[in-house]
Structure 1
C-alpha cells in the first residue's frame, strides 16, 4: 500500500473511528485501525464486538493494499505531524512507513487478513432525520441511562416511533428521561433498544446541520452521516414500561425559572458533594421554594421565587440527579409536579417541547 493524503483530514478521521475501539480489549487486532484503499479513497475501520465505525477520505493512491495499525500510536503520530500531506507506505513484512515534510516514522503493523470480518448490514429503507432534532433528543436523555452492567437493557435507550412521533427513553432506576418529537417522513413503526454509548458517539459526530440516515435490522442499528457509517448491535430484552411510571395526577404544581433553580441547587450542593447521597431539601410554600442542605461541613439556605398551584410540600432529592435534569432543559421556565414527598417528581418545560424528566425523591430525615 502506498498513498498520500491530508494530515488534518486524516487526524479527524482517526478520531472518528477510535470511538469504536475498546482500549481494554486483549485482542491486538481490535486495538488497531484497519486501513484499506479503494476507488481513490482511504477507508478507516474501527470495531469491537458491539460497534463498527467506518469512514473514508480522499487520497492519492499509488499502490492498493490494507493493513492494521495500532490505534493509539497511529493517532498520536498523525496528530503531531505538520499541517501538510502525509505519505503512508507498507511493505510485505507489515512495516508501515509514515512521512510528512521532515518527519519519518517506521512502525509495525498487523496483517489485515486476520482482522475480524463483519457481516455487511444493509437496510433497504433508511429514514432521514434532521441532525438537530436527533442531537437534542440524545442530549436530553442519554445522561439518564444506567451504568449498571447487571442490567444491560437499561444501559441502552429505547427508540420508538409510531405514526411519525419519535421518542427516546432512558431510565436508570432513579430517574427517567423522555424526549419526543414529530419527524416528518418517519412512517414506519419502530421499537428498538440502542446502546447508550453508541448514541453518545453518534451525538458527538453530528454537527447539528443537515440530516442523518437511520435504519434498523432485527439485530443492528445503522447511522450514516456523509462518509461515515456506524453499525451497532441492538440490545436484546424487554424495556421497562415507562408510561406506567408516570404519575396520572399531581397535588402540587410549581412554575419557576430553570436557571434560578439550577444556580441555587449548585450552590446548595457545594456542602453535600462529599456526602454519600448529595441530599438537598426543597420546601415549597406560597410563592417561594426554600432549598436547604445540612451536613457536617455546615448548612446552606437558598430561596427561589415560584408560582404554586396546590399543597405545600417538603421533599428531598439527590442534588446531582436534579442538576443533571435541569442542565438538559433549554427552556427558560419549567413546571415541577409533585404528588407526595415519597412519589416521583416530574420536571418539564413550560413551552411546547415534549420532554419529561421524572426523578425519585429521597426519604427525608430530621438532619437534612
Structure 2
C-alpha cells in the first residue's frame, strides 16, 4: 500500500471511526481499524459484532493494499499532526506515516482475520441531516445501557409512523422522550431498536450533512451520510417497553412558563442539592417557585412568572437532571401537563405541533404523602 492524502480529511475520518471503538477489549481486532487503499481513495473502517462503520476519503493511491492497525492511536496521531500532506505506506511489517518532518511506524495486526464488513442494507428512506441529529439528541439522555436485566433499555427505537413520519424514542423507565420528524420513505421499513451509545455518537456528526439515508430492515440498520456508512445489528425490540402507551390522555392542571427561565432557575437551585435530592416546583396561577425539597443544610428559592390552569396551587418534585434533560429540546415556552404529584407528567412545547414530548416521573415527597 502506498498513497498520499491531506491530513485534515484523514484526521476527521479517523476521529469519526474512533467514536465506534471501545476503550478496552479482549481481542486486539476489536480495537483495530482496517485501511483499504483502492482506486477511489482510502477507506477507513471498523467492525465488531454489533456495529460496522466506514468512511472513504480522497487520496492519490500509487499502490493499493489492505492493512489493519490500532484505531485509537492512529486517530490520536493524525489529530496531532500539522495540516500538511501525509504519505502512507504499508507492508507486512506495518504501516509507516510521514507528515513533513514527522515519521511514525504502526505495528500491523492480521488484516486477514479482520471481521467482514457488511454492506449497506436496502434503503428505507431519507431525512435531513439536521433533523436526524436533533431527533437523536432529544431522546439520547434517556437510554440506559447499564441495566443488565433489561439490555433493551440501552437502545433507541426508531419507528416509521403515518407513512411520512419517523419516531425516535428511548426510556430508562423513569422518563420517555419522543421526537417525531418528517422523512421521505422509499422502501420497506420496520421498527428498529439500535444501540443508544453508537447511535448518539453517529448523530453528533450527522447534523452537518444535507441528507441521512436510513435502512431499517429486519436484521440490520444502516445509516449513511455522504461517504460515511454505519451498519448496526438490531437489538431485541420484543423486550423493549411499550413506553409510548404510558402517556396520559387527560390532565387536571397545566403549568406554562418560559423554558429558558425555568432551566436557569433549576440550575441555580441545584447548587444546593447533595446526592439524590430533588427539585420542587411550587406553582400558583401567576408564579412558579423553584426550591430544594427537604434540604436541611441550605435553602433557597428562585421565582419566575408562569401560568397555572386547572388548579389554584400545584406542588411537584423532580430529579433536577431529568427535568433539565426533558426541557433541553423545547424551543419557546414549555407546558407541563399534570394530574397528581405522584403521577407522570408530560413536558412539551406550547405550540401544539407535537414533534417533541417527554413523559417524566415525579419524585414522591414522603412527608406530604404521610400528611
Instruction: Tell me if both proteins adopt one fold, taking TM over 0.5 as the criterion.
Output: yes
Q: Does 1:109 align with 2:125?
A: no
- Number of residues paired by the alignment? 363
User: Residue in 2 aligned with 1:148?
Assistant: 146
Q: Does 1:341 align with 2:341?
A: yes
Q: CA deviation at 1:127?
A: 0.9
User: Residue in 2 aligned with 1:222?
Assistant: 222
Equivalent residue of 1:299, what SS?
Answer: coil
Q: CA deviation at 1:115?
A: 1.0
Root-mean-square deviation over aligned CA pairs: 1.9
Whether the aligned pair in 1 keeps the contact of 2:255 and 2:307 (CA below 8 Å) is yes
Whether the aligned pair in 2 keeps the contact of 1:161 and 1:188 (CA below 8 Å) is no
- CA, structure 1 residues 104+145, in 2 after alignment: closer, same or farther (shift >3 Å)? same
Q: CA deviation at 1:113?
A: 0.9
Equivalent residue of 1:171, what SS?
Answer: coil
User: Residue in 2 aligned with 1:23?
Assistant: 23
Q: Does 1:328 align with 2:329?
A: yes
Per the normalisation by structure 2, the TM-score is 0.93
Q: CA deviation at 1:197?
A: 1.3
Distance in 1, Cα, partners of 2:4 & 2:189? 46
- CA, structure 1 residues 340+258, in 2 after alignment: closer, same or farther (shift >3 Å)? same
Distance in 2, Cα, partners of 1:125 & 1:8? 30
Q: Does 1:58 align with 2:58?
A: yes
- CA, structure 1 residues 229+235, in 2 after alignment: closer, same or farther (shift >3 Å)? same
Distance in 1, Cα, partners of 2:333 & 2:278? 23
User: Residue in 2 aligned with 1:160?
Assistant: 159
Whether the aligned pair in 2 keeps the contact of 1:164 and 1:187 (CA below 8 Å) is no
User: Residue in 2 aligned with 1:359?
Assistant: 360
Q: CA deviation at 1:295?
A: 2.0
Q: Unpaired runs of 5+ in structure 1?
A: none
Per-residue CA deviation, residues 121-156 of structure 1 (Å, 9 max, x unaligned), is 343334121112211111111111123332211111
- After TM superposition, the structure 1 = structure 2 runs for residues 164-313 of structure 1, keeping only pairs within 5 Å, are 164-185=164-185, 188=188, 190-238=190-238, 239-272=240-273, 274-275=274-275, 277-293=276-292, 294-311=294-311, 312-313=313-314
Distance in 1, Cα, partners of 2:277 & 2:131? 33
Distance in 1, Cα, partners of 2:249 & 2:73? 55
Distance in 2, Cα, partners of 1:208 & 1:106? 33
Q: Does 1:14 align with 2:18?
A: no
Whether the aligned pair in 2 keeps the contact of 1:315 and 1:361 (CA below 8 Å) is yes
Distance in 2, Cα, partners of 1:167 & 1:28? 37
Distance in 2, Cα, partners of 1:63 & 1:263? 58
Distance in 1, Cα, partners of 2:114 & 2:58? 23
Whether the aligned pair in 2 keeps the contact of 1:334 and 1:347 (CA below 8 Å) is yes
Q: CA deviation at 1:208?
A: 3.7
- CA, structure 1 residues 308+247, in 2 after alignment: closer, same or farther (shift >3 Å)? same
Q: Unpaired runs of 5+ in structure 2?
A: none
Whether the aligned pair in 2 keeps the contact of 1:222 and 1:232 (CA below 8 Å) is yes
